Amino acid sequence: MMEEDMKAILYTKEEVAARIQAMGEQLTRDYQGELPMVVGVLRGSFIFMADLVRCIQTPLELDFVAASSYGSWAVSTGKVEMRLDLEKEIMGRHVLLVEDILDTGRTLSKLVEELKKRHPASLKLCVLLDKPDRRVTEIEADYVGFTVPDEFVVGCGLDFNQKYRQLPYIGILKPSVYE
Ligand code: 5GP
Ligand code: MG
């Protein structure tokens, strides 16, 4: 069972759902009448994004990007590349970039840099998790689900070697699983 690979459960399914509901209510107010372009960063954001947009009551459009970073999570090389681009132009649009976790900040810094070149009306960041202890770039999210300690977490879209994404809770993976 996957639960046996967890050192601890940080946030239960119910806690995650309640937090995402509150974020959706906030976003509903903040983007009232603006038809935002909600952009998910594949693959980690897909579950959070699906849950989040169903809690946003104002019209929006969706798109996706993918980024690849070289090196492992533990030994990041810092090189990030956009691997899948948006389908539509975002000039003059209100863009909300949605990601699973803001860790070192390299991925989102690179994506923000790319998207800003296209002159969106606004560009905001929304992450399910924020792990500020590992930040190496100057970037903060505008919307944060939970701030987490410097541990390797999985579930709600976050993986280890593509596994554990489907867990409905946020768990800390036992180091013995990845060491
Ligand atoms: P950053 O570029 O901010 O260092 O991190 C970006 C990516 O690293 C995230 O999108 C995620 O894929 C991965 N990552 C960072 N921390 C964790 C973690 O604790 N658990 C998992 N599963 N992935 C992480
Ligand atoms: Mg990711």
Binned average pLDDT, 10 residues per bin, the chain of 179 residues: 95 98 98 98 97 98 89 68 92 98 95 97 98 96 98 97 97 94
Its pTM surpasses 0.85: yes
Locate the ligand 1 atom nearest the alpha carbon of residue 148 and give its number: 19
Q: How far apart are CA 4 and CA 171, in angstroms?
A: 11
Ligand 1 near 45 CB (within 6 A): no
pLDDT at residue 70, rounded to an integer? 65
For the chain, how are helix, strand and coil distributed in percent, rounded to 5? 25, 35, 35
Decide if 122 contacts 95 (C-beta within 8 A): yes
Could you give the dihedral angle defined by the CA atoms of residues 176, 78, 112 and 88, in that order, rounded to the nearest 10 degrees?
-80
* Residues lying with their CB under 5 A of ligand 2, a single-atom ion: 44
Ligand 1 near 130 CB (within 6 A): no
Ligand 1 near 111 CB (within 6 A): no
pLDDT at residue 22, rounded to an integer? 98
Residue in 5, 51, 100, 103 annotated catalytic? 103
